[in-house]
């Protein structure tokens, strides 16, 4: 069984969604980033960047255990392992790589900065960075909206790919970065399509926080 080191965040959720969609058995190992649990030596051995998510697969290449950190690398590994949600032909794989990297490099880091600066109380401190990251966030939603015109999925036909799971993890937090999906109708339709999938619903429902005592 795969151990998923995670928390209830966009990058954590995208792996839960992928594992559910792939039907792989896994166990959630909560790393509570609100309590600073990432630097624990055992976790750093698995995730040297001290961030969630990370996985340990006891049945990795050659039947040997393997750990993987960075959510994009984890998605690629799981797609390789299962042969699911990644086209087999090179021409089909290229757009999946492109849109996965687009998410990892932009549609995540930029949105996360909006989350961070919205928490800064001092208006003078946050005005310029918040405006910058919000502008970039809207630009990225616009890019995604144009890509999804006339398409069901971001990089594939007929079935989603790991790129959809990656992007969905962040779109799931659209209210938190204050984006009205109604302004991006193709994104909104895609979001509803993805959220209607039973595997996706399970991926967002699985507990990724510890129940608070008392």
Dihedrals phi, psi of 45, to nearest 5 degrees: -65, -30
Q: How far is the CB of 73 from ligand GSH (least distance, A)?
A: 8
Cβ proximity to ligand GSH, 116 vs 183, nearer residue: 116
Q: How far is the CB of 206 from ligand GSH (least distance, A)?
A: 16
3-state class percentages of the chain: helix first, strand second, coil last, to nearest 5: 55, 10, 35
Task: Check residue 11 for interaction with ligand GSH (CB under 6 A).
Answer: yes
Phi, psi of 5 (to 5 degrees): -90, 115
Q: Does residue 16 interact with ligand GSH by CB under 6 A? A: no
Task: Name the helix (H) or strand (E) containing 3.
Answer: strand 2-6
**Closer of 160 and 169 to ligand GSH (Cβ):** 169
Among 38, 134, 156, 161, binds ligand GSH (CB under 6 A): 38
Q: Is 33 in the site for ligand GSH (CB under 6 A)?
A: yes
Residue 14, phi then psi, degrees to nearest 5: -65, -30
Which residue's CB is nearer to ligand GSH, number 38 or number 161?
38
Candidate residues 51, 147, 174, 177; the one interacting with ligand GSH per rule CB under 6 A = 51
Residue closer to ligand GSH by CB (options 8, 152) is: 8
Q: Where are the alpha helices (DSSP H) in 50-184?
A: 71-82, 90-105, 109-118, 123-147, 162-171
Max CA distance (Å), the chain:
55
53 half-sphere exposure, CB direction, 13 A CA radius:
30
Q: Is the peptide bond before 53 cis (omega within 30 degrees of 0)?
A: yes
Q: How far is the CB of 214 from ligand GSH (least distance, A)?
A: 26
Strand ordering across the sheet containing 2-6: 26-30, 2-6, 54-57, 66-69
Rounded CA-CA distance 172/40 in Å is 29
Identity of the residue, 71 or 156, whose beta carbon is nearer to ligand GSH in the bound complex: 71
Given 26, 71, 86, 191, the residue binding ligand GSH (CB under 6 A): 71
Binding to ligand GSH by residue 160, rule CB under 6 A?
no
CB of 185 to ligand GSH, least distance (A): 27
Q: Does 70 bind ligand GSH (CB under 6 A)?
A: yes
52 binds ligand GSH (CB under 6 A): yes
> Which residues here bind ligand GSH, judged by CB under 6 A?
9-12, 33, 38, 51-53, 70-71
């Amino acid at each position: 069984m795969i151990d998923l080191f995670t928390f209830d965040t966009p990058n954590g959720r995208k792996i839960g969604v992928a594992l559910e969609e792939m039907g792989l058995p896994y166990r959630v190992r909560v790393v509570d980033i609100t309590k600073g649990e990432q630097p624990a030596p055992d976790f750093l051995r698995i995730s040297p960047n001290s961030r969630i998510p990370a996985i340990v697969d006891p049945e990795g290449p050659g039947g040997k255990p393997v750990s993987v950190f960075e959510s994009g690398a984890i998605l690629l590994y799981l797609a390789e392992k299962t042969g699911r949600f990644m086209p087999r032909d090179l021409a089909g794989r290229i757009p999946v790589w492109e849109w996965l990297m687009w998410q990892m490099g932009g549609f995540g880091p930029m949105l996360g900065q909006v989350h961070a600066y919205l928490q800064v109380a001092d208006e003078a401190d946050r005005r310029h960075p918040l405006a910058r990251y919000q502008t970039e966030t809207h630009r990225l939603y616009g890019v995604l909206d144009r890509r999804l015109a006339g398409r069901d999925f971001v990089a594939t036909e007929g079935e989603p790919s790991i790129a959809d799971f990656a992007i969905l993890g962040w779109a799931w937090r659209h209210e938190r970065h204050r984006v009205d999906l109604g302004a991006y109708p193709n994104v909104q339709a895609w979001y509803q399509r993805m959220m209607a999938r039973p595997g996706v619903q399970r991926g967002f429902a699985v507990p990724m926080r510890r129940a608070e005592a008392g």
